[in-house]
Amino acid sequence: MLCTRSRIWNTSIFTLQGWCWVFSWWYVNIYFRSIMKRHEARFCFLMMLTILHQIAGVQLPHRYLRTEWKSLALLLGPGMTVMWISASLLVWAMVPNFSFLHSLAVAACVTPTDPVLSNSIVKGKFADKNIPKPLQRIIIAESGANDGLGYPFLFLPLYIIKHVQNGGHGGAGKAMEQWFVETWLYTIFMSVAYGTLVGWVAKELLHFAEQRKFVDRESFLVFAITLALFITGTCGMIGSDDVLACFIAGNAFTWDDWQVSQFNSGSFANVSFSQVPARD
């Protein structure tokens, strides 16, 4: 009898292993499912957005961001600034009793273009006949990078509203400090460095596995999606810009001619883009 009771006690929930099992069951079946129900639409949209930016980076030729950095800097710097100011002026003029700072914040949300929308003009028979290849590539690169680079345009008016208007504390100096440190250094530059590191490591690992026949063609193509999901999760943990990190990682992932030829030999990117409706 004592032996039987001892065996039951050791296999019950009163042991450490039992409590771990109960906690795992509660987390997966109750807590995690409740979170997914509340944020299901947001999670699905974020996953698809990061995957599409990853594919946009993969589609570009090898070392494209380094060779075409002047054109991209012109489009992402003065180009986005002009679009931002123009959109904010339209919002300020059309919405009554709306401050210009709030108009700047609203305009920052509509300034970046979308890889799905740009894909409609750079892919297909019409694009192949009428749009030059360099123009197609620069459109893909600009649409992939400007979503992540929209954060500085958004948080500049938000920090000014927080610290300058409505009796905020810290003043303009505190707003500029947060804008440079939190937005530019932590969100933008960290995501660029992290995306470059992860993309380069993934490229080397995949090349190593392919040389030794550890992966087949199907696994090779899906590797870009799993890489996007990994970057999204880890960037969410550290609070960085997952969209920009995915785009940078996609281009670092195809930094060599070997990866570019492998991905361009199939219709993986075109199929992935065609399955997603464009955002309004």
Per-10-residue mean pLDDT of the chain, 280 residues long, equals 44 49 51 54 70 80 86 91 94 91 92 72 78 86 85 92 78 89 92 93 86 74 81 87 90 75 54 44
- Give the amino acid at 82: V
| pLDDT at residue 126, as a whole number | 78
Cβ neighbors of 191 (< 8 A, separation 6 or more) are 148, 235, 240, 241, 242, 244, 245, 248
| pLDDT at residue 154, as a whole number | 92
| pLDDT at residue 167, as a whole number | 67
The domain spans of the chain are 52-274
N-terminal to C-terminal alpha carbon distance within the chain: 71
| pLDDT at residue 280, as a whole number | 39
3-state secondary structure 185-228: HHHHHHHHHHHHHHHHHHHHHHHHHHHCCCCCHHHHHHHHHHHH
pTM above 0.95, yes or no: no
| pLDDT at residue 16, as a whole number | 47
Contact status, residue 111 vs residue 84, Cβ threshold 8 Å = yes
| pLDDT at residue 42, as a whole number | 63
In 3D space, the residue among 250, 278, 280, 246 whose CA is nearest the CA of residue 123 turns out to be: 278
| pLDDT at residue 83, as a whole number | 92
